[in-house]
Structure 1
Amino acid sequence: MASTFSTPASTALFRRLTWEGTVPLEIRVDPNQLPANSDRGLECYYVQAPRVSYLPLLVPEIKRFLLDVVFDVAAAKTIKEEEWWFETDDQVLMKWHWSIGLLYDYHTVTTSMKSAKRPEGQQFPLRLILHLAAPPTDKLLIAPSIEACKQAFMGQLKEADFLRWGNTKRMTGLRGAEQDGIWEGIKDHNFEEYWKIASKITPTTTPARPNSPPPASVSMHSRPSSTDQSGAPDKDGAYNVRSVPIRIYLPNGPVLQDLAPPSLESGTLNTLGKFLSTLLPLLFPANQRALACPLIQGVVCPLDAEIAWLGACMAGADGWVNVMIGIL
């Protein structure tokens, strides 16, 4: 059983800290695609972007900047934002359906491997090149639009819901207005608006201990604790899910996915270290010094972190725990 009693208040705190995370972006228009008469001294745009947001959600803001200070009137009439796409200065394509935090962390571990630095040492803006034409649609996977990004996001939520419970009843049980509300919370970067609805499909972290009293404080954004006054376990608690939605990202490698139950067959709680030693035994050998480190939400995560706790407190807005593997 868990070594600490995670309360709804502490759960809400970590969720807000995760939500409020931002990353610096430097966005420069491809100089070869700048229209004539553009102000070439101002084609670079800086933004501290929310980790939970997506590049298509930044396009309207970037477009306003370019129309205000870079493009002339004639060029503004030719702009077609549906043809925009991004890549890094070393020509790595930015995926529309990955959150900005995920894009940043993936670039961090890849850059760290090339420079032999620890992943958390990356503190510089992610430098992106904005192309104004000829998008590689075969590689972007989805159309560069906010609506397509929304549909991809909702698909990730449903997949995470299925992995947790073996069905998607919680997601499909939401009214259309509630599903739209989840996305509006992402668009507006509104923690309260998002969690008011997301709390209906996201489990708590309180362990289902038979005789543990309920916590004294309850957050308005958390569900009830996983033990009631009679000591009955909450079937919707984080330690009672079938599997925690988790993906492992290797630098310049594949994305790995496997079932991550909160408890092992022995009855002990599953931890990030145990999960990684099973999935990547060469990098995380059991009872030996690890040759890599896991990065979650931009933070190097301890290997003894419980899988269930990570799923409830450190998952992205789409419900997934994204673990970047930085090679030491």
Structure 2
Amino acid sequence: MEIAPEPVSVRRMLWNGTIPLKIVLAQQERNTLDLIQPYYINAHRLSYLPFLFERVLAFFKPYLRDPESASSYEWWFEFEDVPLRWNWPIGLLYDLLTGLDPALEDIADHDWHLPWSITIHFNDYPADSLLRLTSVKDVEDQWMNRVKESDFIRRGNSNTVMNLSRADSDNMWAAVVKYDFDMFWNTARKLLPQNAISLNHVPVKIYLPSSNKILQSLITPMISPKEVQTVGTALHTQLGYLFPSRRTYILAKPIVHGISVPMSAPLAELLYECMYTDGYLHICIVMIS
């Protein structure tokens, strides 16, 4: 008798999600008019662009007008003239900026989305649009600030994060850099109450399409002692003009990790399965085509 394989958790499946990237060198950075091949890589959805920098730089360095200055962290990525925020996860950037409706992902008209073509620059840093990046340590600082924020929202204080041992804190960040699922969740599970309904509030950020606007309100896991807060009830309350119904998509869809989320999904439970490494549930709103 064969033993059935252990089912793969939702958390692990999301962790294993990737986005194929096609990275192109900006025209003004090139030292030649000859064709330069793009750099292709499968990027982890939950990871961050700065972790790709050394490999991308090594690939393009022979073709740079000023290869020495390229190591000074003046580099930045853009998609369709929009600078990409280095402190946001790659999957979040893709979902938000492509505005792709997953229901249409197999249609030929949407093939341009994959591989996701982005451009790298090594000069003229858009400091009016992006936070200044001086080293990978800046990525860690930004990430840790959000980990503390999300803990505060969950519990009403950040004591759980602040009381982590130095080894746990270091291991959690090292797991993000190394992209090690087991190493990360060995510590991250200590930050979550055993029961999702016992959360003070659900740390969630809602990103509006074609906009720099982010909604972040204090949303409870329960509407009343007998009614669970769902994705639909939360969006109906926060964005009633896009979600006039609490139960069905009409004008827009909530997307998490490139997946259309059911309106009936309990918000707190969704957080436990689908949170990013910073402890937030990031929801992108995509208009229905």
Identify the TM-score tier after normalising by the shorter chain: 0.7 to 0.9
Residue 206 (structure 2) pairs with residue 248 (structure 1): yes
Q: Give the AA of the match of 1:64.
A: A
Change (3 A) 1:259 1:166: same
Q: Which of residues 293, 301, 307 in structure 1 aligns to 2:267? A: 307
Shift in Å at residue 119 of structure 1?
6.3
User: What residue number does 2:70 align with?
Assistant: 79
Q: What letter matches 1:310 in structure 2?
A: L
Taking a change above 3 Å as real, the CA distance of residues 25 and 81 of structure 1, as seen in their structure-2 partners, is farther
Instruction: Show CA shifts across 1:153-207 (max 9, x none).
Output: 0011100000000000110011223212111111111111111111111344xxx
1:33 aligns with one of 29, 32, 44: 29
Q: CA deviation at 1:43?
A: 4.3
Q: Contact 2:21–2:117 (CA<8 Å) still a contact in 1?
A: yes
The answer on whether the counterparts of 2:78 and 2:118 sit within 8 Å (CA) in structure 1 is yes
Q: 2:13 aligns with which of 14, 17, 20?
A: 17
- Correspondence for 2:36: 42
In the TM superposition, residue 77 of structure 1 has moved relative to its aligned partner by 3.6
* Structure 1 residue ranges without an equivalent (≥5): 1-8, 205-236
Identity over aligned pairs, percent:
32
1:318 matched to which residue of 2?
Answer: 278
Match of 2:251 in 1: 291
- Cα offset for 1:108? 2.3
Post-superposition shift, 1:305?
A: 0.4
**Residue 140 of structure 1 aligns to which amino acid in structure 2?**
L
Q: Distance in 2 between matches of 1:155 and 1:119?
A: 36
1:265, distance to aligned residue in structure 2 (A): 2.1
Question: If you compute each CA radius of gyration, which structure gives the higher value, 1 or 2?
Answer: 1
Query: Which residue of structure 1 aligns with residue 237 of structure 2?
Result: 278
Q: CA deviation at 1:104?
A: 0.6
> Can you list the C-alpha shifts for 1:7-33, whole angstroms capped at 9, x where unaligned?
xx98x8111111111111111111211
Contact 2:25 2:60 in 1 (8 A): no
TM-superposed deviation, 1:146: 1.0
- Map of 1:106 onto structure 2: 96
What residue is the counterpart of 1:224 in the other structure? none
Matching of residues 20-169 of structure 1 within 5 Å: 20-34=16-30, 36=31, 40-67=34-61, 70-71=62-63, 76-88=67-79, 90-109=80-99, 120=105, 123-169=113-159
Give the distance between the partners of 1:287 and 1:248, measured in 2 at CA.
16
**TM-score normalised according to structure 1 size:** 0.78
| Worse-superposed segment, 25-34 or 133-142 | 133-142
Across the aligned residues of Structure 1 and Structure 2, the Cα RMSD in angstroms comes to 2.3
> 1:43 and 1:105 mapped to 2: Cα distance?
26
SS in 1 for 2:129: helix
Q: How many residues align?
A: 276
Give the corresponding residue for 1:225: none
TM-score by length of 2: 0.88
- Which 5+ residue runs of structure 2 have no aligned equivalent? 1-5
- Give the CA deviation at 1:143: 1.5
- Tell me: CA distance 1:261–1:79, structure 2 relative to 1, closer, same or farther (3 Å): same
Kept in 2: contact 1:142–1:149 (CA 8 A):
no
Measured against aligned partners, the alpha-carbon deviations of 1:21-78 in whole angstroms (never above 9, x if no partner) come to: 11111111112112x3x584334111110011101111011122224xx448x95444
Q: Give 2:48's aligned amino acid.
A: Y
Tell me, in whole angstroms, the C-alpha distance in 2 between the residues paired with 1:142 and 1:186: 21
Q: Aligned with 2:228: secondary structure?
A: coil
Hey, what's the Cα distance between the residues in 2 that align with 1:144 and 1:106? 25
Q: In structure 2, give the amino acid aligned to 1:22.
A: T
Deviation at 1:256? Answer: 0.6
Secondary structure, aligned partner of 2:73:
helix
